[in-house]
Amino acid sequence: MSDLTDLYQQVILDHNRRPRNRGKLPSANRVAHGDNPTCGDQCDVYLRVDGDRIAEISFDGSGCAISQASASLMTTRLKGKTAAEAEKLYAEFHDIVTTGKEPEEISDVGAFAGVHAFPARIKCATLGWHAALNALKGDPAPATTESHTD
Ligand code: ZN
């Protein structure tokens, strides 16, 4: 096992042990629910959107380690970002989990590159992100991975 692989595994373990921004956000003005029935993962994402920017973000949910670690990491990536920046970060993350291509610079998101080898887990890894983007759009409809081909 390479040092980098080991480091990346630590990232996922760490986000599971100490999830970031977990719990309801009392000041939230957007919320979306994500559901991944294939694996049984659930994820609620709360946002306080100020203008075009995500001022505050949190998630709450249950499910497999990949889904919860990914949601935790997602909150750290999206906090303070604009909607356009959030879309771009999601596109980057999606590229990593579907192709396995690690980011050029060592980054926490690289921890999810290994997911590409397990197509069923890609839905776990993207669940929180889908919910966040839906919340951002103010879409009240629940995010379900079933409507996505990825
Ligand atoms: Zn899962």
* 33-51 pLDDT, tens digit each: 999 999 999 999 999 999 9
* 3-state helix, strand and coil shares in percent for the chain, rounded to the nearest 5: 50, 20, 30
Q: What percent of the chain has pLDDT over 70?
A: 91
pLDDT score for 109:
92
Q: What is the mean pLDDT of residues 17-26?
A: 96
Q: How many angstroms separate the Cα of 6 from the Cα of each of 10, 54, 88? A: 6, 32, 27
Neighbours of ion ligand 1 (CB under 5 A): 39, 41, 63-64, 67, 124
Q: How many angstroms separate the Cα of 131 from the Cα of each of 30, 50, 100, 106, 107? A: 11, 18, 22, 26, 22
Extract the runs of DSSP E, i.e. beta strands, from 51-113. Answer: 53-62
Can you tell me the distance from the alpha carbon of 144 to that of 148, in angstroms, rounded to the nearest whole number? 8
| Cα 51 to ligand 1 centre (Å) | 33
Q: What is the mean pLDDT of residues 14-36?
A: 96
For the chain, give every domain's residue range. 2-139
Closest C-alpha to 33, from 21, 42, 20, 24: 42
**Statement: residue 7 has pLDDT above 60:** yes
Q: Which one has a higher pLDDT value, 140 or 81?
A: 81
What letter would DSSP give residue 102? P
**Statement: residue 67 has pLDDT above 60:** yes
| Cα 52 to ligand 1 centre (Å) | 30
Task: For domain 2-139, give its CATH number from 3.40.50.720, 3.90.1010.10, 3.40.50.150, 1.10.3720.10.
Answer: 3.90.1010.10
Can you tell me the distance from the alpha carbon of 110 to that of 149, in angstroms, rounded to the nearest whole number? 22
pTM > 0.75: yes or no: yes
| Cα 121 to ligand 1 centre (Å) | 6
| Cα 92 to ligand 1 centre (Å) | 20
| Cα 39 to ligand 1 centre (Å) | 5
Q: Which two tokens stand for residue 29?
A: 């003005």
| Cα 38 to ligand 1 centre (Å) | 8
